[in-house]
Chain A
Amino acid sequence: DAGITQSPRHKVTETGTPVTLRCHQTENHRYMYWYRQDPGHGLRLIHYSYGVKDTDKGEVSDGYSVSRSKTEDFLLTLESATSSQTSVYFCASTQGSYEQYFGPGTRLTVT
């Protein structure tokens, strides 16, 4: 399995606070992705990166920003968390094939 980790694994935060989730991969993969998974919606792409400092929006990017200053790290920031952002967040990476390797997920609860 690809070495991809996420931190924190669980987080509870209050509405209006900023939150940053971290994804770290040791495979030197070029492409990295952030998804959210909610009941009834499946996995939805938030943002993705195709290289250091190169990012683009996905299907549900409103309220989220990302940064990638190093190949191995991809950060997802909720500038001001809302209850609708309560979800399970998955990070994924790939070198170029379409097979994406997923991290273990972060369960975020916004109260």
Chain B
Amino acid sequence: RKEVEQDPGPFNVPEGATVAFNCTYSNSASQSFFWYRQDCRKEPKLLMSVYSSGNEDGRFTAQLNRASQYISLLIRDSKLSDSATYLCVVSLGGGSQGNLIFGKGTKLSVKP
């Protein structure tokens, strides 16, 4: 089983739509969770961290379910500028400082 699995997409949505991405991870000792965004031919950049209580940043909401080892990202009122690949990222447990496992990414294309 892959350590971090995501639906690769692509998700093609119209402007203004709400879109949700899901991610599952296999290592139950994982301690920290993130969503990164990667634009075409660019480097990944942190979008937001994911907390057990859920967290929101403007149009973006992230949720974590530790029991199911499941992470989600909800984007409301999609903008053209949201078009990118979204990477689900999980830390290795056990003190591996800063070592992250990246999912392969979900591609989002927002159309006018």
Contacts and interface: CB of A to CB of B under 8 A. Distances in A.
Interface string A98-111: 11101111000000
A41 B99 contact: no
Given A98-B32, A99-B46, A105-B43, A42 B87 contact: yes
Report the contact-size class of chain B (Cβ under 8 Å from the partner).
Answer: 10 to 19
B97 A40 contact: no
B99 A48 contact: yes
B87 A31 contact: no
Contacts of A105: 42-43
Nearest to B88: A42
A45 B46 CA distance: 17
B44 A90 contact: yes
Contacts, number: 47
B43 A103 contact: yes
A31 B98 contact: yes
Given A42-B104, A43-B102, A98-B34, A31 B97 contact: yes
A50 interface: yes
Interface in A28-76: 31, 33, 40-45, 48, 50, 58
A42 B43 contact: no
A25 interface: no
26 contacts: A31-B97, A31-B98, A33-B98, A33-B99, A40-B104, A42-B104, A43-B44, A43-B87, A45-B99, A45-B100, A48-B98, A48-B99, A90-B43, A94-B98, A96-B97, A97-B98, A98-B32, A98-B34, A98-B49, A98-B91, A98-B98, A102-B45, A103-B43, A104-B42, A104-B43, A105-B42
Interface of B: 32, 34, 42-46, 49, 87, 91, 97-100, 102-105
Interface of A: 31, 33, 40-45, 48, 50, 58, 90, 94, 96-100, 102-105
